[in-house]
Amino acid sequence: MAVDRLVQNHFTARAERYNRSSHWVSDEKLGAFTVEKLAPRQTDALLDIACGTGEVSRHFRGKVARIVGVDITPAMAAQAEGILDSFVESPAERLPFADASFDLVVCRQGTQFMKDAEAVAEMVRVLRPGGRVGLVHLCAYGEADRDEYFEILRLRNEARRNFYLRSDLQRLLTEAGAQDVVVHDWVSVEDVDVWSNTGAITEEAREGIRQVYRSASAAFRELHAVQTGASLVDHMLFGVAVGRKG
């Protein structure tokens, strides 16, 4: 099955419960942090790539002049009514907008399912000079936890193409032509059983995720501050990478 179809099927299955599927999805503090780092102006036009249910755009509402959402899964975007000013169904690798159409572009948890270099190049292309682009993605803390964490993420969603370190986000933006790229850290505390109960994952895969945590290396357990007991708790790292178009 083509990757885009896998992504559509996965997120169509998740659409109804998506906003409740992880703490970070609707976390007001993470939303405010993202807004702060992108520094919107009231006159800005914002493009939200992989907009999903509009949870990122929601935090920019009233802080920019216009919000356009792009996604390939209409079942997700249908829930963003009243948040987006307009919605376009399109792959991020081929955005149907002219050069220099937006002041801000943001993509949270989207490029992991895309041909990421192509998608980020498109994000920078549609930015006006001086505009800012932000990538907000789960990342491994480093080489010490990379393999174990990437296996957890793979088990949660088989459509995932890309797994990141913070340096990967910086590289993607820099190679696409963004300048002054800075990657900020955000840590989200997640109940693993809630996080894995997406509605689009088998119980076998969920048990596989639990097993990775149970047998995790000491380095992984320390970096993720893993808590065991009545529930498994992971301190998941986000890289919030922001760059500017020259």
Residue 6 has pLDDT above 70, yes or no: yes
pLDDT at 205: 94
Contact assessment for residue 226 and residue 213, using Cβ atoms and an 8 Å cutoff: yes
Which amino acid appears at position 236 of this protein? M
Look up residue 25 and give its two tokens: 């999805």
Contact assessment for residue 35 and residue 56, using Cβ atoms and an 8 Å cutoff: no
Q: Does domain 3-140+159-187+237-245 have CATH number 3.50.50.60?
A: no
pLDDT band, very low/low/confident/very high, at 19 (cuts 50, 70, 90): low
From the CB of residue 185, how many other CB atoms can be counted at a distance below 10 Å?
Answer: 12
pLDDT at 1: 41
What pairs with residue 24 in β-bridges?
none
Average predicted confidence (pLDDT) for the chain: 93
pLDDT band, very low/low/confident/very high, at 13 (cuts 50, 70, 90): low
pTM of the model: 0.94
Look up residue 203 and give its two tokens: 């119980």
Virtual torsion, Cα 69, 75, 79, 82, nearest 10 deg: 50
28-82: per-residue pLDDT in tens? 999 999 999 999 999 999 999 999 999 999 999 999 999 999 999 988 888 888 9
Look up residue 11 and give its two tokens: 């997120």
**Residue matched to tokens 């690798």:** 93
Mean pLDDT score, 75-97: 94
Residue 17 has pLDDT above 70, yes or no: no
